[in-house]
């Protein structure tokens, strides 16, 4: 598992089995998600979790689609690494998202990420965004590895 050198993962004291992923520098865009957790599932899939609050809300009181898409893009990388992809240095080539239900505030948002295939330069992933058993979104993405 290769992480970007500006990322560190430490066990989270309030969420057993989860690692808190922190990016060096509080002004990086990903910090807008707040606490971001990762873990490897028993089935080899990667899992990511965020905790939506008011800064993630749209005017209707649900999670803004842009916040969900930011979470998905970060989950492609963090969840991809947890699923075994070597994407510590990569960029998003494409990402397709289908919004399937409203994201509710104050309920953890989870992304389940599956590595479909990896080549020397590309990683193909897919996943689901869930709140408990409720399906919020489905996604696919392709990441291109770049030189460190």
d(CA 50, CA 70): 11
Residue 70 has a pLDDT of 96
Whether the predicted pLDDT of 21 surpasses 70: yes
Question: Burial letters for 54-68: b for 16+ Cβ neighbours within 10 Å, e otherwise?
Answer: eebbeeeebbbeebb
> Which structural domains are found in the chain, ordered by start?
7-145 (3.10.129.10)
| Both structure tokens of 90 | 């990569």
Name residues whose C-beta falls within 8 Å of residue 2's C-beta, 6 or more positions apart in sequence.
81, 86, 87, 88, 89
pLDDT mean across residues, the chain:
94
- Write out pLDDT tens, residues 70-84: 999 999 999 999 999
- Write out pLDDT tens, residues 105-139: 999 999 999 999 999 999 999 999 999 999 999 99
Residue 1 has a pLDDT of 61
| Both structure tokens of 108 | 């953890």
d(CA 61, CA 79): 27
CB 58 within 8 A of CB 65: yes
| Both structure tokens of 82 | 């947890």
pTM: 0.94
CB 98 within 8 A of CB 65: no
d(CA 137, CA 76): 14
Whether the predicted pLDDT of 88 surpasses 90: no
């Amino acid at each position: 598992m290769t992480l970007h050198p500006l990322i560190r993962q430490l066990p989270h004291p309030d969420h057993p089995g989860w690692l808190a992923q922190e990016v060096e520098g509080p002004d990086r865009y990903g910090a807008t998600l707040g606490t971001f957790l990762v873990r490897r599932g028993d089935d080899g899939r990667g899992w990511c979790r965020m905790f939506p609050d008011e800064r993630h809300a749209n005017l209707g009181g649900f999670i803004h689609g842009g916040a969900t898409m930011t979470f998905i893009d970060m989950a492609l990388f963090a969840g991809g690494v947890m699923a075994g992809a070597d994407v510590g240095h990569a960029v998003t080539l494409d990402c397709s998202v289908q919004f399937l239900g409203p994201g509710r505030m104050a309920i953890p948002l989870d992304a389940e990420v599956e590595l479909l295939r990896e080549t020397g330069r590309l990683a193909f992933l897919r996943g689901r965004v869930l709140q408990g058993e409720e399906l919020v979104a489905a996604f696919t993405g392709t990441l291109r590895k770049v030189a460190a």
